[in-house]
Amino acid sequence: MPLPAFAGSDHRIKLLQGSQEFFPALIAELDGAQRDVQFETYIFSTMGEGASVAAALERAARRGVRVRMVVDGVGTGRIAEPWGTRLVQAGVQLRVYSPLGPLGLLLPSRWRRLHRKLCVVDARVLFCGGINVLDDFEDPYRGRLEAPRLDFAVQVQGSMVAYACAVMDLLWLRMQAVHEVRRRQLAHALQDWRAAQALHRLRARTPRQGRGVRAALLLRDNLRLRTRIERSYRRAIAQAREEIIIANAYFIPGGKLRRALVLAAERGVRVHLLLQGRYEYFMQYHAARPVYGALLAAGVHIHEYAPSFLHAKVAVVDAEGARPWATVGSSNLDPLSLLLAREANVMVRDAEFARILRARLMQAIDGCEPLAAQTYANRPWHERVLDRIAHVLMRVALWVTGKDY
């Protein structure tokens, strides 16, 4: 049985926007760490301010804190020098999730990535969201950006943190067991595997009923937690009565999620989508656009973010209503996130948090021109051709993986 989703009402949660808010909060906790740091990220870049996070991890390890760090084999691969060597020499225990072999991404099994961004310090505080260790003003392919990318994370204290610790320990022990098998250290591998199995049977402690914020940590993996994040979105959309705001970098929803949004708009709910307005990647940019037509026809408001790159994966529903709901996490609403990658989202039911997130999103939306249905219908023919090619390629890739979306 998998680790269950965790929910409780004793949490303190702070919204962090961009690396400019996230990095100082993270570094402060790393510099205060006394025993243990667990760290997972998709991209670990030491460009710009990313080096300050690397330096904080190095300082923690040098003063005797156990630092376990997992980076993705595609998003990061090998950490750029000299930081790769400096971190290991300081005592950081570093693992690369699913390194690319000689065939790289030609193997569909390599499409399953570690995309979640989690950090737990001293089993006391959790960071979760969409923000990589990547300076908001730096782009690995385009250099210095004129404006920071838009992204969010949360800083959490409460009983959810113990569950996050168990989740991260479970992945570490499984990776460690695989590492030992490759080194033919079978006795050590068996020991690690048994420890992983013990965590696999763990149940989160009984949720505390306190005076804090009601929140849950939801995961997506390729075993038993395949649809939990998507089902949470669909449930919140179905229960919406006043307003839905979704900001998502790579928005290619499946049929069920699209229908949920259309039905919400048709029953009078205000639906605002803040989506990527800048060209970043061919597939993500062009494969998203064929789904816009049905949404616009139903009355959904689509705003394409253009000041910089949009990287957020957040949503807020009925912030001013009786049952406010919000989420901040790593999961895009596209096939890679919802069908293949390991993801983590924090779901929050709290009026104050929902209002704060809504205000940040509305500020971003106010700076965007809404996409008119007529403008979408009259886009140039070559864009429509590229949109269709990308959509077909996506369907072929899903067929190769055997996934139904």
Spatial neighbors of 85 by CB under 8 A, at least 6 apart, are none
Of 311, 350, 387, 391, the catalytic one is 311
Of 11, 115, 286, 303, the catalytic one is 115
Residue 256 designated active-site: no
CB–CB of 302/271 below 8 Å? no
Going by C-alpha positions, the residue among 388, 256, 384, 347 that lies closest to residue 6 is: 347
Q: Distances in Å between the alpha carbon of 13 and those of 40, 210, 319, 328? A: 20, 14, 16, 11
Residue 311 designated active-site: yes
Enumerate the β-bridge partners of residue 97: 72
Of 10, 14, 36, 122, the catalytic one is 122
- Return the number of other C-beta atoms located less than 10 Å from residue 207's C-beta: 18
AA letter at 250: Y
Of 135, 169, 318, 350, the catalytic one is 318
Residue 11 designated active-site: no
Of 11, 117, 272, 391, the catalytic one is 117
Q: What is the CA radius of gyration of the chain?
A: 21
Residue 318 designated active-site: yes
**SS3 state of residue 327:** strand
Of 11, 286, 303, 313, the catalytic one is 313
Residue 303 designated active-site: no
Q: Distances in Å between the alpha carbon of 50 and those of 13, 59, 134, 136, 139? A: 24, 15, 5, 9, 12
Residue 169 designated active-site: no
* Residues catalogued as catalytic: 115, 117, 122, 311, 313, 318
